[in-house]
Amino acid sequence: MIAAVLHEPKKILLEEWEAPEPGPGQVLVRVRAGGICGSDLSYYFKGKSGDFAMRDPFVLGHELAGEVAAVGTDVAAFPVGQRVAVNPGLNCGTCRFCVRGMTNHCLHMRFLGSASVYPHSQGAFREYVAVAESQCVAIPHDFDFATASMAEPLAVTLHALRHAPTLLGARVLVVGCGPIGCLLVAAARRAGAHHLTAIDLAQPALDKAMEMRADTAVSATDTAQIDAWQQHRGTFDVVIEASGSPAGLDTALRTAIAGGTVLQVGNMPSGQSPVAMNLIMSKELRLLGSFRFGAEYATAVEEIVSGKLDLRPLMSHTFPLAEANKAFAIAQDRSQSMKVHLQFD
Ligand code: ZN
């Protein structure tokens, strides 16, 4: 099989690898589409994502859908040819977090395409992956693979909103309108947000946020507006930080209303970040974090295949695996792309 292997920043090489054999309880998935995530971009351009640094060449990719190519022993539910979306995380089921239902914090998590463990966990930008049966969610036989792969970032947003207080009747601000920010806009709207504002530096991203049914989209360069939101102890009941930048968190802390909630979803650079932390104390803010997801993955697949959420406006480009480097360059250019997919023939 062909694997797209990241050797060093900005250098993916296509290599011939031996296809894995599905073990007991495993499904061999022929990957048909894979989305490029912000963390993939960070590994690709900087060799690290958040606190996880790449030490050896490895395969990126954890947003995927494909079809069952073979099954190991003890797999009953998935016939060969079945189309599936694949949850990239496999938790152990027995550690102290798994037994509490906090599977996203599993101490032995195997997450596709992550340098959080060593040796690194190989990702999905290759023709075949062997995963546990429990990671697969069936999708209709004619359903588009790339659209189905959007279940992974959608699951991130559904998990995040479970941490938030109710959005019913709330004034909500989403900071950062990349794919995750736009998905948060869509999910927050479905969750009943009363007035939904989005901010970003890039106009195309703001346009997409409006397509996903934000009420207002404001440029992050509009300092007069942002200053006004800070007045009289803030404006927004819930601010969702999805830019992964210290500046974004600073804006979130400043614009949240006293007693309000700031929900950190963006993946910050490692190290210290100077932001207006004292406002957490003086405005009695609730600062929450959200990391990956658990059971929300299957819900996300259902939201997509049922048509309740139409995420196609967020899917901007598709490239063959052979053009992976070009795909990453386009995905990094926020003036022209939103979610970029690799497609496998
Ligand atoms: Zn565990």
Q: Tell me the average pLDDT of the chain.
A: 95
- d(CA 88, CA 321) in angstroms, rounded, equals 19
pLDDT attached to residue 194: 97
- DSSP code, position 133: G
Ligand 1 mean position to 294 CA, how many Å? Answer: 12
Note whether 153 and 179 are within 8 A (CB).
yes
- Tell me the Cα Rg of the chain: 20
| Phi/psi at 194 (5° precision) | -80, -55
Region 75-79: what's the mean pLDDT?
91
305-315 pLDDT, tens per residue?
Answer: 999 999 999 99
Ligand 1 mean position to 109 CA, how many Å? Answer: 6
- Mode of pairing for the β-strands spanning 236-241 and 256-264: parallel
Region 296-319: what's the mean pLDDT?
96
**Cis bond before residue 24 (omega within 30° of 0):** no
- d(CA 236, CA 254) in angstroms, rounded, equals 10
Ligand 1 mean position to 67 CA, how many Å? Answer: 27
Ligand 1 mean position to 115 CA, how many Å? Answer: 18
Q: Residue 342: which residues within 8 A CB-CB, separation 6 or more? A: 4, 33, 34, 35, 36, 61, 125, 318, 319, 320, 321, 324, 327
Chain position carrying tokens 């480009």: 317
At residue 270 the predicted structure's pLDDT band, cuts being 50, 70 and 90, is confident
Please identify, in words, the CATH class of the domain defined by 2-150+311-343.
alpha beta
Ligand 1 mean position to 106 CA, how many Å? Answer: 4
Note whether 30 and 152 are within 8 A (CB).
no
Q: Could you please report the per-residue DSSP string of 212-260?
A: TT-SEEEETT-HHHHHHHHGGG-SEEEEEE-S-SHHHHHHHHHHEEEEE
Q: Looking at domain 155-289, what is its CATH homologous superfamily?
A: NAD(P)-binding Rossmann-like Domain (3.40.50.720)
155-213 pLDDT, tens per residue?
Answer: 999 999 999 999 999 999 999 999 999 999 999 999 999 999 999 999 999 999 999 99
| Residue 128, burial from CB neighbour count under 10 angstroms (0-12, 13-18, 19+) | buried
Ligand 1 mean position to 277 CA, how many Å? Answer: 32
26-64 pLDDT, tens per residue?
Answer: 999 999 999 999 999 999 999 998 888 999 999 999 999
Ligand 1 mean position to 289 CA, how many Å? Answer: 20
At residue 280 the predicted structure's pLDDT band, cuts being 50, 70 and 90, is confident
% of the chain beyond a pLDDT of 90: 88
**Where in the chain are the domains?**
2-150+311-343, 155-289
Q: Could you tell me which residues are beta bridge partners of residue 173? A: 197, 239
